[in-house]
Structure 1
Amino acid sequence: MSRTTPNRRSVNRALSALALLVVAAGAVTACSDHDSTAKHSTSASASASASTSGSASASASASSGTSQAGQAKLHMIDNGGHRLAFYVTQGNGSTIVLDSGGGNDASYWNDLVPKLHAATGATIVTYDRSGLGKSDVVAGPWKVQDAVSDLTTGLQQLGITKNVTLVSHSQAGEIATYFAEQNPKMLSGAVLVDANLPQLFTDAETARLYAFDQPEVAAAKKNPDTPQNRQLISTAESFVATSKAYHKATWPDAVPATVIVSEKTPFDGSPEDAQRWRDAAASFVKAGPHRTLVTAKGSSHEVPKDRPDLVLKEIESMVAAQH
């Protein structure tokens, strides 16, 4: 099986695929491609003005950011002793939550937030998962249920409990699946952008991915303090058990979902794995009602960067369908 040599862009792609433990070479020396401290305050500067949707508890937790309409405001949320950075661009009615893939913080969505806010008028929420951006590092293996707890707690403390459209890229597909299982009434729909889906993680594929990336994990341990390497290491520690459990997870029939699959997939250079990725997406869509499959023509795994027009269109359609 041949694989392409990953360039700098594939660093985030590797981690985005749940550190899918795919094409992770190069992650071992990488620094973040996004400056989370400098960009968040301007991520929605072009958006229209709107009213607040946060609760009093959210306002009390805000530690910095701006209060001008149409700009993202930073809220530091505590969950079990660690703090998480949530960025809220206020809007009316529904809420759109954007969840980044592995190795990426909330700034991954900076280009899309103002366009999405202007197009829908909805409240837009992005956040830094633990260990990324402004959020605290949580030691130990990566646990998807902890990530679900972080997202759930953050939204609850922001006073967001219904009419949520969840947009999840890559690794965030796992968080989305468990979040939807546990909070189906909170969600009005989801857009899963080249996301990790349960159907992919058979025992054979899990073992294949884990074995392939062990050299990169070993190299990451020599430089463990960058956010990407730290996440790669923590994900590897729990990868097999997490993947086996995830393979059994199911998406609730009550929550509509649009699945956007990239044409090139995270496995560009490995036709066998690329086909398994596509097959997983197709199987997911066939497994329940109210699910749609869309192919991002010409796109790499980084669909929000390569085809932002398509991502924007599908989110708009999902939001509009719920009204």
Structure 2
Amino acid sequence: MFETVRKNHRLRPAIVGLCLAAALTGITACADSTPSDSGKPKSPGQSSHQNSKAPAAVKPSASAASLRMVANGDHSLAFHVTPGRLPALVLDAGGGEDSSYWKKMAPDLAKRTGSMVVTYDRAGMGKSDEVPGAWKVENAVSDLKAGLTQLGITHDVILVSHSQAGEVATYFAKENPNWLAGAVLVDGSLPEFYTDEETARIEAANKAQVAALKDQPSTQQTRQLLATAEGYGPTHRAYHQISWPRSVPATAIVSEKTPFETPEDAQLWRNAQQEFVKGAPNRDLVTAAKSSHDIAGDRPDVIVTAVGKMLKAVG
């Protein structure tokens, strides 16, 4: 199931957040860097600052993204900031991906919306420091909060979160609802999906895959995969009990193909997205037609449209 790391090709992660679930159906990629035209799947709340300017921490005269290294405890994280007005769009990639996942969409959104656009590398990815031990969503939330605090962006934030980043977004929203103007969850990993039965099936199906991964050479990628796999069951049983704050508007975009190949698991994924949207009147469901899990690669227009509608809704 696991692939070795090949030159100029990212490891297609079968066990990164959502990808661990996808392994049930034999999927070897969650967020794949292969272009979508190759035929292979790649891997509204009212704002109180309607016309805010960019925080002083970021120079509004710059036209291109600038790299800002921020510290959280004993490690540093890479944030890429394109100046603009608030609300700020914070783009968070899925499991196994870093900020480069948004390399085409980030400048396009900045140009179309005039908003500040922020992408970043979670710990152990891209230019951010590696942190030993199991991956914990609480640590990821702490990193994101530290970065936005140091950038001076502590209100009027719209999260655009793909796949595993949906978990980070959910915990962040629960802890910091007043920071957020809204969120666009791009085939996001949502609490509703992780019933006890589904989580148990995922754990059982991946024992052999985890063992195989341990036999591979230790690289940054394999270490991140194993860190995500460690404690997966308890982590997601706890996640199933978490709920998105009703005060924060959200749009859930679900891919037509979903991350799964079997009809049963694909329908469970769709049901979870629908259940999430039914949880509050300020949530919308959008289906990305003809898209794999890699909606940013296959149907970027769907994300751009959803972001535009969210910005209009929040003022």
SS in 1 for 2:77: strand
- Residue pairs, 1:237-276, within 5 angstroms: 237-267=230-260, 269-276=261-268
- How many residue pairs match? The answer is 290
Tell me, yes or no, if structure 1 residue 206 matches structure 2 residue 205.
no
User: Within 1, Cα distance between the matches of 2:241 and 2:107?
Assistant: 37
User: In the alignment, which residue of structure 1 is the partner of 2:310?
Assistant: 318
Q: Which residue pairs with 2:296 in the alignment?
A: 304
Matches of 1:275 and 1:33, distance apart in 2: 25
- Name the CA distance, whole Å, in 2 between partners of 1:202 and 1:258: 22
Q: TM-score, normalised by structure 2?
A: 0.85
> Deviation digits for residues 236-263 of structure 1, max 9, x if unmatched?
1121111011000010111000000011
User: Which residue of the other structure, out of 175, 182, 193, is the alignment partner of 1:182?
Assistant: 175
Number of the residue aligned with 2:106: 113
1-side partners of 2:10 and 2:22: how far apart?
10
* Counterpart residue identity of residue 177, structure 2: P
- Per the alignment, residue 23 of structure 1 pairs with 23
Is residue 66 of structure 2 the alignment partner of residue 73 of structure 1? yes
1:23 partner amino acid: A
CA separation of 1:52 and 1:318: change in aligned 2, threshold 3 A: closer
The amino acid of 1:22's aligned partner reads: A
Residue 54 of structure 2 corresponds to: 53
CA contact (8 A) 1:260 1:293 kept: yes
CA–CA distance in structure 2, aligned partners of residues 239 and 175 of structure 1: 15
> How far is the alpha carbon of 1:229 from its aligned partner?
1.9
Q: C-alpha deviations, 1:16-62, integer Å up to 9, x for none?
A: 6533342387969xxx959xxxxxxxxxxxxxxxx983444x78xxx
Cα pair 2:86 2:157 within 8 Å, conserved: no
Residue in structure 1 matched with residue 92 of structure 2 by the alignment: 99
Preserved CA contact (<8 Å) 2:13 2:225: no
* Alpha-carbon distance in 2 for matches of 1:226, 1:54: 38
CA contact (8 A) 1:194 1:261 kept: yes
Task: Give 1:226 shift.
Answer: 3.1
1:21–1:236 Cα contact (<8 Å) kept: no
Unaligned runs of 5+ in 2: 35-51
Partner of 1:226: 219
CA distance in 1, matches of 2:152, 2:304: 25
Matched residue, 1:285: 277
Aligned to 1:251, what secondary structure does the other structure show?
Answer: coil
What residue ranges of structure 1 are gaps of 5+ in the alignment? 35-50, 60-66
AA of the residue aligned to 1:20: L
Q: 1:161 aligns with which of 151, 154, 175?
A: 154
Structure 1: distance between partners of 2:16 and 2:226 = 14
Match of 1:48 in 2: none
Q: State TM-score, norm by structure 1.
A: 0.83
User: What's the CA shift string for 1:151-171, capped at 9, x where partnerless?
Assistant: 011000100011111000000
Aligned residue for 2:78, secondary structure, equals strand
Q: How far apart are 1:217 and its partner, in Å?
A: 1.6
Counterpart contact for 2:10–2:33, Cα < 8 Å: no
